[in-house]
């Protein structure tokens, strides 16, 4: 298939592009390079520098003719979304409406969307399945939930088939070492710890150690970015052949605390990694773990790289390679 990957120069996007290429799809990346990197682009693919807030940029791209598109262009810092909701409204919601309108105008009616476990909010039960109530605790999660609703309406009214993939905590780097472009100003746990390990950041701030968990720190379900990438391609092939939309959770079902991740990272890197325990951050549920049985049943998808040592080891290798350590 001819696939337009919006946000394809970013961290997750570049891994999705690599997986699409390995499965023989013809890829064009659309990215404004605000957080994506030229380093993450493959010379074999087309590249369009454009902005999802500019309708003309999107229409010019979709006019080239694509069978499908993958939408990964969003701001994603949950904490920031609670203090700068305007930024998330404009980019995540307005930007997505622009994408949907350009896609249907040019008859590109197969879409994979990077949604999030943040759509669920505080769990009412664990592990979280697809039917769990949706009560986002941060504005970022709210934008992802609204986009899921927009897609459902565009399916109903315009025949747009979509796969909404609710990631839990994306982490890790390409195990083959081809992709090692680092995120700018990362806010996620693993890259922040790596910056401390590399001497690029003084310390890690752990938000809260008084949660009702086994060591008082938040529990998250970490899913390797390469496992996420394979799910994107499987989902795209499914919706385009079956002509039916999908909403799936993507995680491992295994919860790891922040302190456990920190201790494992110290072990694997051999670095001290200074950490301060500070007050809780608003919008952080105590525990999030996924039930991904539906993805296995419908797509035959399983996580293969999401054990703690591969998550941390592949990330450490990327940082060492990038900083020539």
Q: Could you give the CA distance from residue 223 to residue 200 in angstroms, rounded to a whole number?
A: 25
What one-character-per-residue DSSP string does 167-218 give?
ESEEE---TTSS--PPPSS--SHHHHHHHHHTTSSS-EEEE-S-SSSSSSS-
Helix (H, G, I), strand (E, B) or coil at 246: strand
Q: Are 314 and 265 in contact (CB under 8 A)?
A: no
Tell me whether residue 106 is one of the annotated catalytic residues. no
Q: Which two tokens stand for residue 257?
A: 């605390």
Orientation of helix 189-197 relative to helix 258-269, angle to 10°: 40
Tokens 């720190």: give the residue: 217
Ramachandran area for residue 210 (φ above 0: left; ψ -120 to 50: alpha; else beta): alpha
Q: Could you give the CA distance from residue 242 to residue 261 in angstroms, rounded to a whole number?
A: 39
Choose, from 139, 140, 167, 211, the residue flagged as catalytic.
Answer: 140
Phi (first) and psi of residue 180, to 5 degrees: -145, 25
Hey, which residues does 27 pair with through a beta bridge?
3
Residue 62, H or E segment: helix 55-62
Phi (first) and psi of residue 190, to 5 degrees: -65, -50
Antiparallel, parallel or unpaired: β 110-116 and 161-167: parallel
Task: Name the burial class of residue 87, with classes exposed (0-12), middle (13-18) and buried (19+) by CB atoms within 10 angstroms of its CB.
Answer: middle
Q: How far is CA 115 from the centre of its chain?
A: 7
Residue 95, H or E segment: helix 95-105
Q: Which residues are catalytic?
A: 140
């Amino acid at each position: 298939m001819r696939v337009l990957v919006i946000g394809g120069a970013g961290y997750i996007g570049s891994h999705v592009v690599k997986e699409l290429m390995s499965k023989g799809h013809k890829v064009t990346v659309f990215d404004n390079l605000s957080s994506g990197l030229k380093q993450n682009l493959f010379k074999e693919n087309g590249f369009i520098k454009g902005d999802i807030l500019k309708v003309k940029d999107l229409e010019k791209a979709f006019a080239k003719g694509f069978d499908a598109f993958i939408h990964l262009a969003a701001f994603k810092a949950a904490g920031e979304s609670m203090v700068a909701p305007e930024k998330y409204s404009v980019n995540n919601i307005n930007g997505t409406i622009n994408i949907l309108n350009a896609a249907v105008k040019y008859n590109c009616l197969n879409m994979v969307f990077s949604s999030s476990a943040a759509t669920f909010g505080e769990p009412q039960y664990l592990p979280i399945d697809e039917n769990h109530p949706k009560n986002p605790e941060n504005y970022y999660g709210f934008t992802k939930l609204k986009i899921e609703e927009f897609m459902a309406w565009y399916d109903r009214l315009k025949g747009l088939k979509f796969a909404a993939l609710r990631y839990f905590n994306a982490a890790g780097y390409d195990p083959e070492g081809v992709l090692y472009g680092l995120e700018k100003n990362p806010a996620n746990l693993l890259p922040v710890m790596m910056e401390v390990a590399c001497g690029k950041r003084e310390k890690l701030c752990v938000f809260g150690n008084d949660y009702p968990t086994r060591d008082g720190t938040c529990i998250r379900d970490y899913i390797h970015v390469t496992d996420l990438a394979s799910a994107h391609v499987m989902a795209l092939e499914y919706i385009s052949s079956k002509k039916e939309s999908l909403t799936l959770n993507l995680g491992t079902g295994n919860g790891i605390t922040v302190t456990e991740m920190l201790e494992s990272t110290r072990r694997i890197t051999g670095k001290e990694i200074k950490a301060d325990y500070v007050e809780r951050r608003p919008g952080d549920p105590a525990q999030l773990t996924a039930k991904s049985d539906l993805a296995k049943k419908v797509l035959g998808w399983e996580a293969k790289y999401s054990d703690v040592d591969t998550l941390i080891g592949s990330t450490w290798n990327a940082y060492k390679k990038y900083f020539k350590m």
